[in-house]
Amino acid sequence: MNKKMNFVQDLLPKPKARVKEGEVGRRSFIKLLTALTAGAIAMPEKSEAFSLDEFLQKHFHQMSDEEKQKTMARLEGEYNEKYSREDFSVDDTGPQAGVKYGYALNLSKCIGCRKCTHACVDENNQHRGSEEREDQVEYIRVLEMEKGSLDVEKSVHDYTHEVPAAGKYYMPVQCHHCNDAPCVKACPVEATWQEPDGIVVVDYNWCIGCRYCAAACPYWARKFNWTAPRIPDEEVNPDTHYLGNRPRYKGVMEKCTFCINRVRKGLNPACHDICPTGSRKFGNLLDKESVVRRIIDQKRIFILKEEVGTDPSFYYFFD
C-alpha cells in the first residue's frame, strides 16, 4: 500500500503544490485520474515503440537531475533510431539569472515575405504535412492588413501576390509569451508553464491533448498535432531542447518557444536571423542596453489585443 502511495505521489504533476505535503487533495486526485485515463488512451499512439520508462516519466519539474539525464538519453536514442541519425542532442539547459526575453517587431519594415514562418518550421522540427508541405504546422502567421487599420478581422492570411502590396502592411503573429498567460491557466494538467526567463513552454510528455490552451489563446499561437508529425530524415534538426524543438508526438500541443534551444545558448531565434528586412529585434528586457529596451524606450510601441490583459513579452512598433 505504501509503495503504491509513493508511486501516486511521484506522479502528481505539482510544480506549485496546492495541498499540504503528503496529502492528496480531491482536485489533484481527479486531475491525476484524468491524466492517467487520458494518458492510457493517448500513450499507445504517441510512440511506435511504447516504453514503460516513458509511461512512468515524471513531470519536468519533478524530475531530479539524474532522472532528467536518463530521460534525455532515452529520448536521444529514440530520435536517433527514428530519424536514422547519430547526432541527436536533447538539451535541458535552464534559464539564465537576470534574463527575461522580449521581442519587438517593426511593422514599418516588415514586407510579409513569410521567410520567418518557414525558417521557424525548419528550425523547430514541425510537422511538414504532405510532400508539398502545404499543411505543415506553422507557429507564425503573417497577416496582411489594410494601411491605417488595426482590424485583424479584415486581415488576409493566404495572400500569394508579390509583396509588399500597395496600401497594405504586414503583421506577423506568433506566441506572445504572456506574463499572465491564459493558456497556462487553462491547462488542466499543468503541462504548460512560463519559465523564469519568460518563455512559455510545453512538456510534450505531459500534455494530454485536450486543446483547452488553444481555445484560451487570443493570438492563435498554439498548434495541435492532429497526425503523427512527418519530418524527412534529412530535414530534421538534431540540435534540440526538451521543452522546445524536439520531435513531438501525435495528439500533443506545440508552440513557439523563441527557439529555446538557440536563445538559451545566447543565439537569436531563427525567425530573427532570417528576416531580410531586420524588422525583428530580440533581447533581454532586464538589460537597459539591449535593443529591445531601447525600442521600448524610444519608439511608439503597442501590444496586440492589450485589452485582454495578457501582458505579453512581444511588442510591435512603428518608426
Partner 1 sequence: MPAMNRSHMTLALLVAVAVCALPAGAQVTADREATLSDYHGYFPCMDCHGDQETIATPRILEEEHFEPLEWEDDDGVTHLVPFGKKLAIGDLLGEEGSVPTPSDKLARIGARLNIASYMDRNGLSPADSVWTLVHGGGNLWCLDCHNADDRDKLVMQNGDLLTFNQSQFLCGSCHGPVLEDWTVGIHGKTVGFWDPAVGDEEETVRMMCVECHDSHRPAFRSMMPMPAPVLRIDGPGARSDHKKEAAH
CA torsion, ordered 272, 267, 250, 53, to nearest 10 deg: -170
From candidates 133, 211, 250, 305, binder to partner 1 by CB under 8 A: 133
Q: Is 73 exposed, middle or buried (0-12, 13-18, 19+ CB in 10 A)?
A: exposed
**Contact between 135 and partner 1 per CB under 8 A:** yes
Compute φ and ψ for 78, nearest 5 degrees.
-60, -45
Residue from 31, 230, 250, 299 binding partner 1 (CB under 8 A): 299
Query: What backbone torsions phi and psi does residue 194 show, to the nearest 5 degrees?
Result: -100, 125
Strands 89-91 and 239-241, bridge-based pairing: parallel
Taking CB under 8 A as the criterion, the residue among 36, 42, 113, 286 binding partner 1 is: 113
> Of the candidates 62, 294, 303, 305, which one interacts with partner 1 according to CB under 8 A?
294
Q: Which is nearer to partner 1, 109 or 248 (CB)?
A: 109
Q: Give the residue carrying C-alpha cell 525548419.
A: 122
- Site stretch for partner 1 (CB under 8 A), options 23-31, 81-89, 239-247, 280-288: 280-288
Minimum CB distance to partner 1 smaller for 251 or for 269? 269
Contact at 8 Å (CB) between 145 and 155? yes
Q: Which residues pair with 172 in a beta bridge?
A: 142
DSSP bridge pairs for 168: 146
> CA-CA-CA-CA torsion for 237, 239, 245, 249, nearest 10 degrees?
70
- For partner 1, give the closer residue by CB, 175 or 263: 263
* Residue 68 C-beta: closest distance to partner 1, Å: 23
CA nearest neighbour of 240 among 252, 254, 228, 226: 254
Would you count residue 9 as binding partner 1 (CB under 8 A)? no
If one asks whether residue 115 binds partner 1 (CB under 8 A), the answer comes out as yes
Please report whether residue 230 would count as binding partner 1 according to CB under 8 A.
Answer: no
Query: Considering beta carbons, is residue 35 or 111 the nearer one to partner 1?
Result: 111
Neighbouring-strand partners of residue 202: 192
Per rule CB under 8 A, is residue 290 in the interface with partner 1?
Answer: yes
Please give the residue ranges that form the binding site for partner 1 (CB under 8 A): 111-115, 117-119, 129, 133-135, 138, 141-142, 153, 156-160, 162-164, 220, 263, 265-268, 270, 272-278, 281-284, 290-291, 294-295, 298-299, 319
